[in-house]
Amino acid sequence: MTLLEVGMEAPDFCLPETSEKEVCLKDFRGKWVVLYFYPRDNTSGCTREALDFTSLLKEFENSGAVVIGVSPDSIKSHQRFISKHGLKVTLLSDTEKKVIKMYGAWGKKKRYGKEVEGVIRSTVLIDDKGIVRFIWRNVKVQGHAEDVLRKLRELKGS
């Protein structure tokens, strides 16, 4: 498998969202896409990240972007997560981890001093033509949504 790199065409995929409708990356051509991968619904870091993206969603939309979160959680888990926290971002369910792996967001990481396999918090910024423009790997949640918005505006020249 080729490692995802800036300048490559973003691999297309289709995954179910919370209404159980299939959402495909190609559906967003003409818009920029903030595609973020996170480990698990309702954990402190993942909740903070989703809330941060939700709080800035209007600004992302005004900059011509959509924000999509992907985790291996089920649709039902996503529905509860959205309802509990009033989230506005689109969440997709990748229970088989195919897209997570395709985008390089699965691998070994340290947790509580042990090496485990899991979702590596990552964000990919895809332009309106489907090209990967920026990648954040091993994301630290604090200030990340703001960094992504800043980079989006910089790359768009707005």
- With beta carbons less than 8 A apart as the criterion, state whether 74 and 93 touch: yes
Q: Evaluate whether residue 60 is within a structural domain.
A: yes
Q: Evaluate whether residue 28 is within a structural domain.
A: no
- The CA-atom distances, in angstroms, between 157 and each of 26, 60, 62, 137, 154 are 23, 14, 14, 23, 5
pLDDT, residue 116, reads 87
- With beta carbons less than 8 A apart as the criterion, state whether 42 and 156 touch: no
Domain containing residue 112: CATH number: 3.40.30.10
Q: Evaluate whether residue 56 is within a structural domain.
A: yes
The rounded distance, in Å, linking the Cα atoms of 6 and 132 is 5
pLDDT, residue 132, reads 97
The total number of structural domains in the chain stands at 1
Q: Which two tokens stand for residue 107?
A: 């691998």
Q: Evaluate whether residue 115 is within a structural domain.
A: yes
Average pLDDT along the chain, 158 residues, taken 10 residues at a time: 85 95 96 97 96 98 97 97 97 97 90 86 97 96 97 90
Q: Evaluate whether residue 33 is within a structural domain.
A: no
46 given a catalytic annotation:
yes
Q: Evaluate whether residue 31 is within a structural domain.
A: no
Q: Evaluate whether residue 5 is within a structural domain.
A: no
- Give me the DSSP letters along 74-106: -HHHHHHHHHHHT--SEEEE-TT-HHHHHTT-E
pLDDT, residue 104, reads 94
Phi, psi at residue 43, to the nearest 5°? -95, 160
Q: Evaluate whether residue 137 is within a structural domain.
A: yes
Residue among 98, 110, 108 nearest 71 (CA): 98
**Which domain does 126 fall in, by range?**
38-156
Of these residues, 10, 25, 34, 46, which one is catalytic? 46
